[in-house]
Amino acid sequence: MPKNSADRDLIHLAIPKGRIEAGVASLLSDAGIKLRSGPRGYRPVTSVGGFEVKLLKPQNIVEMLAAGSRDIGFAGADWVREQAAELVELLDTGLDPVRVVAAAPESLLIDDELPSRHFVVASELERIASRWITDRGLDATLVRSYGATEVFPPEDADIIVDISATGETLAANGLVVIDELMVSSTRLYASRKAMETPEKKLAIDGFVLSLRSVLEARGRAMVELNVSAEDVEEVIEILPSMREPTIATLHGSEGLAVKAAVPRSELPGLIPLLKNRGATDIVVSRLEQIVP
């Protein structure tokens, strides 16, 4: 059915249905975009105007973006490569990190290498697996799997090409990784058609900025501290910040107040060092969004 003019003005957003959905919904929520279930379960309603949202399977999101019926959508980089879709990658959320690997029973290997023989390779990712077979120069037959690929060896396949998050499922089925084909995560993509429409591109750029600011904030924390004028340079020397820390004079000129957004990963080692260099009244607080 043709879209009416009001519908064409909306940004048509696709969100993955399933395991990726919760992480994406949380990211949107932290950016101020709340989702609530609509009268139809696959069409949630947003708390902000200008968006029309549909829940789809990740594979379908890639197809709809490539066809131009969706403007933007979240999907795994592995499915974009699998479908050879020509999309515009807008943002790597870092959510749901996985590897696409080739794995086989350890008993198949000779000195940790594949023997020279014919193989049966099972995979849901047919295009990615075919490219790997060609690149490795293997004599192999590819079998299409429909889930639970890890159970194919050794009776129904020699090797699998599959997605692995922790490696535990592979290990539980007696498989070892013999090759890493790519690293994937949940990313935000746009259709080329949407990015070539100035009004939509402007709205999409603003949407990306909001999400990027949340991801930036998740990786940092605000550190506030007091320090004497004599010790301030020693404190600043070890205090990481986005540009320069903010410094203000305390009431009565009794020292200085210093504030900086620092990487969260550095907090465990940083706090004792700051204390040792004369910092007092150290406060660490969570950031919601950072817009450089």
What's 252-284 look like in SS3?
HHCCEEEEEEEEHHHHHHHHHHHHHCCCEEEEE
CATH of the domain at 245: 3.30.70.120
User: Is residue 253 domain-shared with residue 150, that is, in the same domain?
Assistant: no
Percent of the chain with pLDDT over 70: 96
Q: Are residues 147 and 161 in the same domain?
A: yes
Residue 7 — pLDDT band, cuts 50, 70, 90? low
Sheet with 280-286, side-by-side order of all strands: 246-249, 256-263, 220-227, 280-286
Position 70 scores a pLDDT of 96
Q: Could you tell me if 226 and 179 lie in one domain?
A: no
- pLDDT tens digit sequence for 76-122: 999 999 999 999 999 999 999 999 999 999 999 998 899 999 999 99
Q: 12-16, 188-192, 242-246, 258-262: lowest mean pLDDT where?
A: 242-246
The CA distance from 44 to 52, in Å, is: 8
Structural domain count, the chain: 3
Classify residue 146 by its DSSP letter: -
pLDDT band at 19 (very low <50, low <70, confident <90, very high): confident
CA-CA distance, 72 to 91, in Å (whole number)?
A: 11
DSSP state of 152: S
From 217, 239, 268, the end of a domain falls on 217
Do 66 and 126 belong together in one domain?
no
Q: 175-190 and 246-249 as β-strands: parallel, antiparallel, unpaired?
A: unpaired
- 65 found inside a domain: yes
Give CA separation, 207 vs 50, 156, 200, 201, in Å: 11, 46, 10, 10
The model's pTM: 0.87
Q: Return the pLDDT at 1.
A: 43
Classify strands 45-46 and 35-36 as parallel, antiparallel or unpaired: antiparallel
Shared-domain flag, residues 79 and 196: yes
291 falls within a domain: no
Tell me the average pLDDT of the chain: 93
Measured between alpha carbons, how far is 41 from 36 in angstroms, rounded to an integer?
A: 10
Range of the domain at 68: 5-94+185-217
Among 57-61, 134-138, 193-197, 257-261, whose mean pLDDT is lowest? 57-61
